[in-house]
Amino acid sequence: MAPFTLSPLREEEVAELVALEFKTFPNPVIQDTFMGPNTPSGHEMVRQRYLKTMKSDPHDYWIKVTDKATGKIIAASNWKICQSTIPDHETSEDTSYTWLQDKPERLAVAQRIMGDVIKARKENFREPYVQLNICFTDPDYARRGAGSMMLKWGTALADQLFLPSWVESSPNGSLLYKTHGFEHHQSKAEGQGTIMYRPARPSTIEGGKDIAL
């Protein structure tokens, strides 16, 4: 019997997800730029941000992988499914950085990195697409297939919708993404990782009936 299950993330599970995300991304620069402070109040801030986006952004979709034996979330990913409209990349991320206003050096680094991210999205994400926006697995469950489960789900969905896919990959994640059809498209401005692209691979659907003569 398979040990894990994939399913949609529920609102009441967001706090658990946020705690796992901070565990998975301990790098303070990553936390400064994309998350927030690794404190109880910081976790609550991220939880509220994710809940707000889940409710207000029609492109936003979270999935999770759960350990059947324990019931706990061991991996999760956030997908942006932009089937007909392209979001405003300038406003798609929280760039207020309220938690860094008294830390000017760290604020400058976060603003520079996020500025490069937004610039690259404006250059590349210009047609309908599916984006793997966030993806992480509990380090205690690394290399046990949870990441592949989520990639299979997302790429199959993209193919069903006849859409290409994008992911902003770290060096550690690129091999997994290559396995699922993503290719190098552009190096990140900071030199840490790459923007990867996967063309749509829709299967041909045949059917219908011949006209009886």
pLDDT in tens, 15-73: 999 999 999 999 999 999 999 999 999 999 999 999 999 999 999 999 999 999 999 99
Cα 74 from Cα 168, distance rounded (Å): 21
| Per-residue model confidence as pLDDT tens digits over 151-191 | 999 999 999 999 999 999 987 788 999 999 999 998 866 65
Alpha carbon distance 168, 150 (integer Å): 16
Burial class (CB in 10 A: 0-12, 13-18, 19+), 213: exposed
CATH 3.40.630.30, domain 4-198, yes or no: yes
Distance CA 85, CA 170 (A): 27
Number of H helices, E strands in the chain: 6, 7
C-alpha to C-alpha distance for 187 and 194, rounded to whole angstroms: 4
| 1 Cβ neighbours under 8 A, 6+ residues apart | 68
Q: Which residues contact 170 (CB under 8 A, 6 or more apart)?
A: 192, 193
Q: How confident is the model at residue 213 (pLDDT cuts 50, 70, 90)?
A: low
